[in-house]
Structure 1
Amino acid sequence: MNRFYAQLLLILSLLVCTTACDDGDIIVTTFDFDEIQLENCGEPGDYVFYKINNSNLESISLVLGTTDEIYLSTQDRTYALNGTSNFVNYRTYSAEVGAEFFCSNVTPSTPEIVNDFAGNSGDALLEVIAVNDDNDGIALENELDELDEDGDGDPFTNPLDTDGDGLPNYIDFDDDGDNVPTANELDTENADGDDNPYTNPKDTDNDGIPDYLDPDDDGDGILTRNEDTNANLDPTDDVTDPAVGPDFLNPDVAVETFVEAYRSHTFTLTTSVTVTLLDLVLTNGSEELIRESLFLGTIDNAFNATFLVEPVFTND
C-alpha cells in the first residue's frame, strides 16, 4: 500500500510540474551584435538606428520620432522609449534582411519576421559630436574660446569672431573680414617646413598681427577689403604693380574703393553619434530580454552637409 501511494504522489507531482512549467515555446536568441557596425537613416520625425547580423538572421533597431535636429549641434540627448514614437525592436527572420527593411517608406514583405521583441521602456542615450569646418587651414580648437574668457569652461559658447560679422571664425572662411580667404593668408608656401600653414602665417606689414586677423594687411591705412578697385569682393585680382603683387599687399599703392559687403561662402558639418540603450526591457508575449545597458555603437559620419552662409556686413 505504501508503495502504491508513493507512485501515485510521484505521478501527481510530474503532472503539476508539467502544467506549471509550460509557458509556451522556448525561444533561443543569440543577440550577437558586438562586431556589427551601427547604421542610420531617416530625418527629423523618423530617425532610425539599426544593426543587422545576417549570420544569425537577426537585427536590432531604434526608432526615434523626435523632430529635434539632433545632428546639428554637439550635445548629449536622452529619449524615453514609449512604444509609440520612440521604440526598439529585436527581431529574427526567416532569411537575410537588408537596409531597406528599416529605411524604406514601404517595409518589404519578405523576409518573414519570426520573432519580434518590442522595447517600449527604458531610455536611448545619444552622444552627438557635430564638427563644423570652413576649410581655412586652421584647426577648430584654435578658433574657439581657448582662454575661456567667459569662464564657463565651454570653448564653444564664446568662439572667436574676429571681424564681428556674426559668424564664429570656425565657420568663417575669412576671419578678419577683408574678403581675402583665411587659407590664402597662412603659410601657403610652407616657409618653415613643418607642413602646418597655421604655425607661420603671413604678416605683410610686420605689425605682429598675422594677415588672416589683420584687416589692413600692408599697413597703408586702407582696409584690405577697400583695396578692391573693381569692387568684385576679391582684392586679390587688383594689381597695380605686378612686381609686388595685389594692391592690398603693396603699401605704396593707396587707392581706396569703399566696399560694404562680405563674400558669401560655404562650410561643412560632419556629425558622429554614439547610441546606448539604458534599462531596456524587450518583450515578446511572455518572453523578456532585459539589458541594463546596451551599447549599440558609434557612427563616425552619421550626418554630413554643406551650408551656404551670407555674412552680415559691419562697418567697424
Structure 2
Amino acid sequence: MKRIVAYSIMAVLMACDDGDLQIETLDFDSVDPQTCETLVAEGTEPIVFFKINSDEALILELPATALLNEVATDVTSNVTAGGSTAITYRIFDDAVTKDYFCSQIPLGSPLLSEEIQAESGQVIITTTTTDSITYTHDIRLSAISLLTSANTRITDLSIDQFGIVTTTRSTE
C-alpha cells in the first residue's frame, strides 16, 4: 500500500506543468532616454520619452505637468493602461532607431512585432537645480507590471532608473 501511495505521489509531481512560464527581464539600464522635441517643462503637450535597445523600445508618456521647473522631491505619478502616465514596451522585427518615433511619415520598417502596455506601477520624479535656470529631473520607475496579449504578466522590478533629463527655465 505504501508503494502505491509513493508511486501516486511521484506520478502527480512528474505530471505537473509550469504552464510554459517565461521570465523576461527588460534591460534598458545602459540606454539614455530620448525625445523627439526640445523639452519644455510646464508645457501643454504630453511628454514622450523612449529608450531603444536594438529591436526593443521602452516608451514613457508623461502628462505635460510632470516636469516642473522647481525643486521637488519624489513627485509620484501612477501608471495606468491608457492613462496620462503610461509605459509601453515594444518589440520590433528588426533594429529600431530614433527616426521610427520622430518621423512625420510613419516608416515602413521595422515592423512592430508586439506591444505590451504597463497595467500598473509608479513613475517617481525628483527635480533638483544647480542654478536658477537649469533643472535636472531624475526619473525612476517602481513596481512596473506589464500584461501581454496572452494575458501573462511581466513584473520586472529591475527597471528602476529610467534616466535623467534636463529642462531650462525661460529667461523672458
Give TM-score, length-normalised by structure 2: 0.70
Deviation at 1:290, TM superposition (A): 0.6
Q: Structure 1, residues 229-270: CA drift from partner, whole Å, max 9, x if none?
A: xxxxxxxxxxxxxxxxxxxxxxxxxxxxxxxxxxxxxxxx22
Matching residue of 2:28: 33
Name the larger-Rg structure.
1
Q: Of Structure 1 and Structure 2, which has the larger fraction of its residues in strand?
A: 2
Matching residue of 1:82: 80
The answer on whether the counterparts of 1:80 and 1:121 sit within 8 Å (CA) in structure 2 is yes
Matching residue of 1:282: 146
CA gap of 1:92–1:29, structure 2 versus 1, over 3 A, is farther
**In 1, Cα distance between equivalents of 2:140 and 2:51:** 13
Aligned residues: 153
SS of 1:52's partner is strand
SS of 2:109's partner is coil
CA gap of 1:41–1:27, structure 2 versus 1, over 3 A, is farther
The answer on whether the counterparts of 1:41 and 1:103 sit within 8 Å (CA) in structure 2 is yes
**In 2, Cα distance between equivalents of 1:304 and 1:86:** 22
Deviation at 1:120, TM superposition (A): 2.3
CA gap of 1:288–1:36, structure 2 versus 1, over 3 A, is same
Matching residue of 1:53: 53
Choose the corresponding residue for 1:296, options 161, 164, 169. 161
**In 1, Cα distance between equivalents of 2:66 and 2:144:** 24
The answer on whether the counterparts of 1:47 and 1:63 sit within 8 Å (CA) in structure 2 is yes
Gaps of 5+ in 2: 1-7, 38-42
CA gap of 1:298–1:67, structure 2 versus 1, over 3 A, is closer
Deviation at 1:79, TM superposition (A): 0.9
CA gap of 1:278–1:27, structure 2 versus 1, over 3 A, is same
Q: Structure 1, residues 115-155: CA drift from partner, whole Å, max 9, x if none?
A: 2221021111111224444xxxxxxxxxxxxxxxxxxxxxx
Paired amino acid for 2:161? L
Paired amino acid for 2:26? F
The answer on whether the counterparts of 2:92 and 2:111 sit within 8 Å (CA) in structure 1 is yes
Paired amino acid for 2:152? E
Name the Cα RMSD after superposition: 3.1
Deviation at 1:112, TM superposition (A): 1.2
Give TM-score, length-normalised by structure 1: 0.41
**In 1, Cα distance between equivalents of 2:66 and 2:143:** 25
**In 1, Cα distance between equivalents of 2:24 and 2:111:** 16
CA gap of 1:91–1:270, structure 2 versus 1, over 3 A, is same
The answer on whether the counterparts of 2:26 and 2:156 sit within 8 Å (CA) in structure 1 is no
**In 1, Cα distance between equivalents of 2:143 and 2:159:** 8
Q: Structure 1, residues 4-43: CA drift from partner, whole Å, max 9, x if none?
A: xxxxx9xxx8xx76xx6666xx767452222212234555
Gaps of 5+ in 1: 1-8, 134-268, 309-316
Matching residue of 2:127: 128
